[in-house]
Amino acid sequence: MSQQRKRHIEGRPIEELVRCNVSDYVGDAGWVDVERHHYEWRPDDLLVWIHLKQPLNGPALIVFCRELSAKMNSLLPIGQPFSDWLVVVAYAGDTLSRFEANDYEASA
């Protein structure tokens, strides 16, 4: 990420920070939506949707999800605010994979 882009996203809401970082990883393979969910009875969490332009399956999907999980865990470490997140990887409206902060391996 360029220095200019880093300065631009500083001070942005957490969902924008996550969207920018995940979008850098996803690149031209798709687009990213991030939703912040508010609750009265528990801390807020994030839902990250990755919409792929081409389907992934098998080992490619597993590697993609593991790398993405590592990136999310480094952005939002367990025990910190927003450490409760869910990522959904989809293609053409079908869910290819989904994983959470406490998953060590993505389910494919």
Block mean pLDDT (10 aa), the chain, length 108: 54 85 94 89 86 94 93 86 91 94 58
Domain count across the chain: 1
> What is the side-by-side strand order in the sheet with 30-37?
30-37, 45-52, 85-91, 94-100
Q: Is residue 106 part of a domain?
A: no
Q: Kind of pairing, strands 30-37 and 85-91? A: unpaired
CATH number at residue 53: 3.30.70.1350
Q: Is residue 57 part of a domain?
A: yes
Mean of the per-residue pLDDT values for the chain? 85
Q: Which domain holds residue 59?
A: 3-100
Q: Is residue 58 part of a domain?
A: yes
This prediction has a pTM of 0.81
Give per-residue burial for 58-72: e unless 16+ CB within 10 Å, then b: eeebbebbbebbebb
